[in-house]
Amino acid sequence: MRNEQPKFPAPRHRHRFSPQLLAPVITTTPPLAGPVIGVVDGSDAAPGQVGEFMFATGTFAYAAGTTSGVTSTGHINLISMPPGDWDFTISASFSDLITSALFFLDPLPTGMSNPMFGLNGNFTMAGEAETVIIIGQSARGSFAVTTSMVFEVQVFNNSTSDPAGTMTLRIEARRRR
């Protein structure tokens, strides 16, 4: 057997390229000025460096339930974030039974990707004590100035078996750049 090259029809037109198309591309973006200062191994970096962690917790007291229901509403000024780009996670835990709860950033700071909303449905467990944790939306924030993270919280109790208690909100932030 012979190895023959496949035959293709000859092109009808010949293409010419202008010298401008073949010239090198000139970029106007300056190169980075050295390596990023911080950590890349998951450890905590020094303040102001990539990889820095910040944590904060805040508490909110809620009222005991009644047969007609009670909504406890308030605000927690959880943390003031220094300028930079941050990744956030948030969670809420409760000292006792509740019917439902929610939390969100109010007002939404400029530079936040979302309000970090957290909500649960009805989880009263017929007198059974349960550990409940609500995980809110993770978010990204980019701040040019120090920014307060204020959360509105609401806890609803609609049963006389729902005692008063405390909601603990915990935020974790890690500097991206």
Domain hosting 138: range is 51-175
**Between residues 97 and 70, the one the model is more confident about:** 70
Number of domains in the chain: 1
Q: What is the pLDDT of residue 50?
A: 92
Number of H helices, E strands in the chain: 1, 9
| pLDDT single digits (tens) 30-86 | 555 556 788 878 788 888 899 999 999 999 999 888 777 788 999 999 999 999 999
Indicate whether 137 belongs to any domain: yes
CA distance 177 to 161: 48
Kindly report whether the global pTM for this prediction surpasses the value 0.75. Answer: no
* CATH number, domain with residue 92: 2.60.120
Indicate whether 161 belongs to any domain: yes
If 0-12 CB within 10 Å is exposed, 13-18 middle and 19+ buried, where does residue 143 land? middle
The three-state secondary structure class of 19 is: helix
Q: 53 to each of 43, 86, 88, 105, 177, how far by Cα in Å?
A: 9, 9, 10, 20, 12
